[in-house]
Amino acid sequence: MSTTDKALELLRLFTLNQPEIGLSDICRLAGRDKATTFRHLSALESSGLLEQMADTRRYRIGPFVLRLAQLRERSVPRRETVRPVLAHLAEVTGETAHVSLLQGGELVTLAHHEPKVHANRVVIHERALPLHATASGNAVLAFVDAAQRKAAGGDMRAFTDHTTATDEALDRSLCEARRTGFGVSNQGFELGVIGIAAPLFDDSGCVAGSVAVASVSARITPELVALIKAELQQAAQTISESWGGTIPATLTAAWGVAGTDGKDLR
Amino acid sequence: MSTTDKALELLRLFTLNQPEIGLSDICRLAGRDKATTFRHLSALESSGLLEQMADTRRYRIGPFVLRLAQLRERSVPRRETVRPVLAHLAEVTGETAHVSLLQGGELVTLAHHEPKVHANRVVIHERALPLHATASGNAVLAFVDAAQRKAAGGDMRAFTDHTTATDEALDRSLCEARRTGFGVSNQGFELGVIGIAAPLFDDSGCVAGSVAVASVSARITPELVALIKAELQQAAQTISESWGGTIPATLTAAWGVAGTDGKDLR
DNA sequence: TTTTATCGGTTTATTATATGAACCATCGGT
DNA sequence: ACCGATGGTTCATATAATAAACCGATAAAA
């Protein structure tokens, strides 16, 4: 591991709970020598990545990161960060993958990718997705606050016989989504289509959208569901990170324990 | 210079005009060896400060900066970053210093600092400052867009005989502010008080407020004005940087040529 | 087709830099 | 005065950074 790596690792020690840390604490947390750590900190400080408070001598994240973040936000469109992830998702699952963004209470599709392997595949519409009837919508609703959840309950049109068109049915579905960490829609939006979705988070710390795989129901097997869920986890992780967000601990926990329990889907 | 410094310097090469750079270009821009630069870039990439685009192999600012920036914004209140700067400003000039924020067309005082040396000093009011009549207001107005400038022209109350209370007078004053890089109010808000102010910029790239020194007019000398201007330059630089902004080139140029021309103030 | 130039990346002997035990100065509490 | 923290510094030693040369791929030029 290079010295630069070691120095940059120190940045990870700063968190919302502990945004300012002194030299000795940093040494303890990093398990490193004091002289070395001091040099690392000095380097980070001289670059503006860290700054030292004059009075307490503690260190905290410096102003330079703001400039870098601004540059990142202006130069890297979200659609582009998502594209390679969707391509991978579609390829390994053999199904259609898409990412949607929660904008003003609506779920709009940001990008999608269709697999090459199958002749019959799910085609993504460009209009807004109904929150109550889709896997993506459920994945998002399961993690928004009560106000937004309630707002979504206003218009619950039944697209098929399977649509969760009542408040009770939707609540059950969301509860399940929170338990497993995935939103699922078994032909609730379109007959013959099963969707599985994971929520996405951005730098605001809130749900920003979802990544989903829409499969042809005839092809679904427990193994495929397990594969899709595993890949969705990975994809949600990657995309959220590239948006400056983090997957909440409750969600990773849900993913951890849920395992491969897609037997009841068939 | 440490290796970490050298690696982190590379981050400065990325700009809005050139947000993505390839290895060879980075070498040229930094004037460094290719192998070395590659190692530096790899280190920055593995930490998430940079990322490499899979297709073009070029590098750009990575997602990790978003997390750091979020942390910075949440944990470092603007008032606190300003306090030590104001203390220094008040001490070396012997006059009252304050920072104001442009919020919704109003100029509100964020923090102020009074010197110990003088018995008679300027006391800062807590209510919003009039944009047309104060040095702070002029410093800000000189760098906002036409729409905001026009909006400020709506209410131009005359606080003293010296207030720039007409559109023409204000325009002249703003023109002068753009030329010298400082907003000045000679007893325009309060009799016996001369204010000198410099604009502040944040990560949005726009004027975010101003830093100002309010002096008792009886004490003003050309030397004091020169000192105040020099210190204000420094302060504006420091504060803007800590807010993720940069002083525009036009402003540094104005500061550069204007020099010490406070003779007409007395 | 061959040639040439450029790209991103890798190897390796040499050299400069990072490392950490011991040390210093300072502070707050007993 | 002492004790145990703190942040910071020194210097012989060990380790990691360096840069010339090299590799393979790609693309335009001859």
Q: What tens digit of pLDDT does each residue of B237-257 get? A: 999 999 989 999 999 999 987
The interface residues of chain B toward chain A in range 40-79, judged by CB-CB distance below 8 A, are: 40, 43-44, 46-49, 51, 54, 60-76
Number of other residues whose CB lies within 10 A of the CB of residue B34:
12
Minimum-distance residue to D9 (CA–C1'): A35
> Alpha carbon B142 to chain centroid distance?
13
User: What does the pLDDT look like over B121-137, one tens digit per residue?
Assistant: 777 776 789 999 999 99
How many angstroms separate the Cα of A163 from the Cα of each of A108, A138, A218, B125, B138? 19, 12, 18, 61, 61
Nearest protein residue to the C1' atom of D21, measured from CA: B35
Q: Would the pTM of this model clear 0.75, i.e. be above it?
A: yes
Exposed e or buried b for every residue in A32-62, given b needs 16+ CB within 10 A?
beeeebeebbbbbebbbbbbbeeeeeebbbb
pLDDT 10s digits, A39-93: 999 999 999 999 999 889 999 999 999 999 989 988 998 988 999 999 999 999 9
Q: Say how far apart CA A95 and CA A79 lie, in whole Å.
A: 19
Number of residues in chain A: 266
Q: How many Å apart are CA B51 and CA B65, to the nearest integer?
A: 11
Chain B residues whose CB is inside 8 A of the A60 CB are 72, 75-76
Specify the pLDDT at position A225: 96
| Contact (CB, 8 A) for A211 and A251 | no
Q: Are A96 and A121 in contact (CB under 8 A)?
A: yes
Which alpha helices (DSSP H) does chain A contain, by range? 3-9, 23-30, 34-47, 64-75, 78-93, 135-141, 146-152, 167-180, 222-242, 249-258
What average pLDDT does the segment B49-60 reach? Answer: 94
pLDDT of residue B104: 80
What value does the mean pLDDT take over residues B6-29? 94
Q: What mean pLDDT do residues B160-172 have?
A: 93
User: By the CB < 8 Å criterion, does A18 face chain B?
Assistant: no
**Binning pLDDT at 50, 70 and 90, where does residue B72 land?**
very high
Residue for token pair 């979802």: A210
